[in-house]
Amino acid sequence: MEPGLQIDNLDRKILSLVTKNARIPFLEVARECKVSGAAIHQRIQRLMNIGVIKGSEFILNPSKIGYHTCAFMGIFLKKASLFDKVVQMLEQVPEIVECHYTTGQYAIFIKIYAKSNEHLKRILHDKLQSIPGISSTETIISLDESFKRQLPVE
């Protein structure tokens, strides 16, 4: 944990409950934690202010909205100094849902959703291969997401 970041056992219990269900009512969290609803509200607000909680969101099921192909792509850059410009251009591609600055073989690693393999091919050909600064890419298609989870709060 980051130095100076004060998280006590009540914070941990709150985080454990809200990461399992972001829509859990504060009063239910308060009952579980044996404190007032106002205390829960204040704690969650503080956890957001110090950056422990980044927000809450509704998570869409990609296949239910027509995106049946998930792929990961490693991106090689012509020069490391082009990173910021390339990321700005990648950000303009709505099918890219994650972008990571990485060590190892690739400079950038992205996650893409496409409606089909044909759609993925069009994204690669029409959008990504035309970005100046990218020297080459390597694509890995995901056959299935076995699991995805939040980190445990310790």
- Which tokens sit at 50? 């110090």
Q: What residues make up the domain containing 74? A: 62-142
Q: Give the whole-number percent of the chain exceeding pLDDT 90.
A: 82
Q: Are residues 100 and 41 in the same domain?
A: no
Q: Is residue 154 part of a domain?
A: no
Q: Which residue has the higher pLDDT, 152 or 120?
A: 120
Q: What is the pLDDT of residue 109?
A: 98
| Spatial CA neighbour of 78 closest among 86, 90, 69, 70 | 86
Query: Is 145 a residue whose pLDDT tops 70?
Result: yes
Average pLDDT of the residues in 11-28: 92
Concatenated DSSP letters of 70-136: EEEEEEEES-GGGHHHHHHHHTT-TTEEEEEE-SSS-SEEEEEEESSHHHHHHIIIIIITTSTTEEE
Q: What is the pLDDT of residue 2?
A: 56
Q: What is the pLDDT of residue 150?
A: 85
Q: Is residue 152 part of a domain?
A: no
Average pLDDT of the residues in 16-44: 93
Select from 59, 77, 95 the last residue of a domain.
Answer: 59
Q: What is the pLDDT of residue 4?
A: 54
- pLDDT band of residue 9 (cuts 50, 70, 90) is very high
Q: What is the pTM of this model?
A: 0.83
Alpha carbon distances (Å) from 84 to 25, 98, 133? 40, 15, 10
Average pLDDT of the residues in 4-27: 89
Q: What is the pLDDT of residue 149?
A: 87
Per-residue DSSP letter, 152: P
Q: What is the pLDDT of residue 153?
A: 82
Q: Are residues 127 and 109 in the same domain?
A: yes
Alpha carbon distances (Å) from 74 to 33, 53, 55, 94, 111? 44, 29, 28, 17, 9
Q: Is residue 150 part of a domain?
A: no
Q: Are residues 54 and 66 in the same domain?
A: no
pLDDT digits (tens, 9 = 90+) for 80-122: 999 999 999 999 999 999 999 999 999 999 999 999 999 999 9
Strand order in the sheet with 108-114: 96-101, 108-114, 69-77, 134-142
Q: Are residues 31 and 86 in the same domain?
A: no
Alpha carbon distances (Å) from 6 to 1, 13, 43, 52, 56? 9, 14, 11, 10, 21
- pLDDT band of residue 1 (cuts 50, 70, 90) is low
Number of domains, the chain: 2
Q: Are residues 50 and 82 in the same domain?
A: no
**In the chain, helix, strand, coil percent, each to 5?**
40, 20, 40
